[in-house]
Amino acid sequence: MIEVRRAADRFTTRTDWLTSRHSFSFGPHYDPANVAFAELVVHNDDVVAPGAGYDTHPHADTEIVTWVLEGSLVHQDSNGVAGVLRPGQVQRMTAGRGVLHSERNDEPGAVTPTRFVQMWLRPDEPGLDPSYQQQDVGSTTGLVPLVSGIDGLDVAVRIHTAGAALHVARLAPGESVALPDAPRLHVFVARGAVDLEGAGRLDAGDVARFTGDGGPTLIGLVPAEVLIWQLSGQH
């Protein structure tokens, strides 16, 4: 089964410093038929004005994965971790039994908006020790695994959700990749346009949700960047 959700149909939060487009119910936006997809419970596409961002706030029992598309994102947390996330780097924060953090577009000299995709998953067990990982994956093209909780799919950044993994596909026009054969796939076009087997054309901001076996083929129609969650559907 394939369900396509178009960019124009996503919930959107707008403030004087933030535009956040939600793939699932989030905050005041609620649709009981759209609260999660397997282990994936949040998938937000955020644009944050320079000098602004999310001030210190709490999380618990959540795996938080962040991928920056443009600009930079300054991270600080109550475990003493501080760093800057840029395009080509992936970050995972395990909130575990509780952590405070902030995420802001306030790196010295920042004058342009920061755009990033943040994704939350359910961990396999509650009360883990809070932890943090960040890894530079560069500008490799094709299909590249970013984070994984799947046995046998080893990447530098691990998540505490068995059966889930995030891949990025960077495609030139006409370039194709076969997506993982998994019980669930969540395919999000971050930029550009692609043709996805069984779903047709997907433009920037569009999502296809696959349920069932089979690894569909993804073809770039223009230069494109696509985030793909491989999910077990066990949660």
Side chain identity at 52, as an amino acid letter? Answer: A
Overall number of domains in the chain: 1
Tens place of pLDDT for every residue, the chain, 235 residues? 999 999 999 999 999 999 999 999 999 999 999 999 999 999 999 999 999 999 999 999 999 999 999 999 999 999 999 999 999 999 999 999 999 999 999 999 889 999 999 999 999 999 999 999 999 998 888 999 999 999 999 798 999 999 999 999 999 999 999 999 999 999 999 999 999 999 999 999 999 999 987 789 999 999 999 999 999 977 5
Cα 25 to Cα 221: distance, rounded to the nearest angstrom: 30
Q: Measured at the alpha carbon of residue 226, what is the angle toward residues 224 and 231, in degrees to the nearest 5?
A: 165
Give me the CATH number covering residue 93.
Answer: 2.60.120.10
Biggest distance spanned by C-alpha atoms of the chain: 48
Side chain identity at 125, as an amino acid letter? Answer: E
Cα 99 to Cα 131: distance, rounded to the nearest angstrom: 9
Range of the domain at 93: 2-231
